[in-house]
Amino acid sequence: MSIALYMDQHVPRAVTVGLRLRNTDVLTASEDGASGLTDAELLDRASALGRVLFSQDDDLLAEARRRQAAGTPFGGVVYAHQLRVSIGACIRDLEIIASAGEQDDLRAQVLFLPLSPVSTATVSSSTLTRPATSLATARAAWHRGRGCDRGLTVAFRATLAAWVGCWQCQAACAVSVECVPYLLLR
């Protein structure tokens, strides 16, 4: 089963349209009649619908972090900065997340986009079944060390790593294979 996404009112329509063209399950706050809700109410609404909330709103990110610190459950948030992540990168990465993951993979988690600063335009959906390589797993460990995917399940991290590849090795990799045992033990 894939992850269903819920778009807040700050997400450009082009992202939603692009995901729908790729057969990703997407519901917008506007379509749901929830565009006037506060950030806390919007996060509750997405969670009640069993969807992961995608946002480009810094205030919503702060609400998710507050809930994490308090141990308050929520369905998960994927965040992309409005000026630092292109529409195309949002579409590509959200499609990967929706295709590769399960709802429980992101429960009470915040995942940051982009998944990779290098292009994954040549990656096909058949890559999702490919097992993670050592370099991809090391890449996931490096990314985890940044706190961007802290708490994600090992299987989901490995799937994302196999999909996205290792951007560190594209430009002087600072990750050693010594990172891999920690990742596998989490």
Q: What is the CATH number of the domain that holds 104?
A: 3.40.50
Confidence band, pLDDT 50/70/90 cuts, at residue 31: very high
Per the structure, the count of domains in the chain is: 2
pLDDT digits (tens, 9 = 90+) for 129-178: 333 334 444 445 444 444 444 455 556 666 555 555 443 343 333 333 33
pLDDT digits (tens, 9 = 90+) for 82-113: 888 999 999 999 998 998 888 888 899 999 99
8-11, long-range: CB < 8 A, 24+ apart:
8/42, 8/53, 8/54, 8/55, 8/56, 8/57, 8/60, 9/35, 10/55, 10/56, 10/57, 10/60, 10/82, 11/54, 11/55, 11/56, 11/90
**Phi, psi dihedral angles at 173 (to 5 degrees):** -60, 130
Confidence band, pLDDT 50/70/90 cuts, at residue 127: very low
Q: Which of 114, 131, 148 is the last residue of a domain?
A: 114
**Phi, psi dihedral angles at 74 (to 5 degrees):** -155, 165
- Tell me what the pLDDT averaged over the chain comes to: 74
Are 167 and 109 in a shared domain?
no
Are 76 and 168 in a shared domain?
no
- Please give the structure tokens belonging to residue 185: 């033990």
Are 56 and 129 in a shared domain?
no
Are 94 and 4 in a shared domain?
yes
What's the domain range around 70? 1-114
What pLDDT sits at residue 158?
Answer: 60
Q: Tell me which H or E stretch contains 79.
A: strand 77-80
